[in-house]
Amino acid sequence: MKYVASRLSEGNKLFPAEIITEDNGITIKIPGLFSGDTTTIAYDSISAVEIDTPIVGYSTIRFYHSGNKVEAHGFSKSDVNEIKNFIEQGRSRARG
């Protein structure tokens, strides 16, 4: 499933961030004006997922893997909760 950050959120006016959940992992795309970052992470290499969901405003989700941190901002609270649940299910499938 593909989740796209709101264009109204900070840093996503022209090129919104995207998170794509797949069967074996997730892909995070943080575009930029002249370049961008695309990171694909397998579920079994994700050590932690953190979400910040303020009462007012857009949510931020952070993925920790292999000593690195990937962060995406501008998603709805329901989107980041769905993404986190999908990752937790994928991690349990990868272990099982």
Which residues on adjacent β-strands are paired with residue 55? none
CB atoms within 10 A of CB 1: 10
Of 68, 56, 57, which Cα lies nearest the Cα of 28? 68
Side by side, the strands of the sheet bearing 59-65 are: 46-52, 59-65, 68-75
pLDDT tens digits, 9-43: 887 778 899 999 998 999 999 888 787 889 999 99
pLDDT tens digits, 49-85: 999 999 999 999 999 998 899 999 999 999 999 999 9
* pLDDT (0 to 100) of residue 96: 66
**Distance from C-alpha of 25 to C-alpha of 2, rounded to nearest angstrom:** 12
Specify the length of the chain in residues. Answer: 96
Q: Which helix (H) or strand (E) holds 96?
A: none
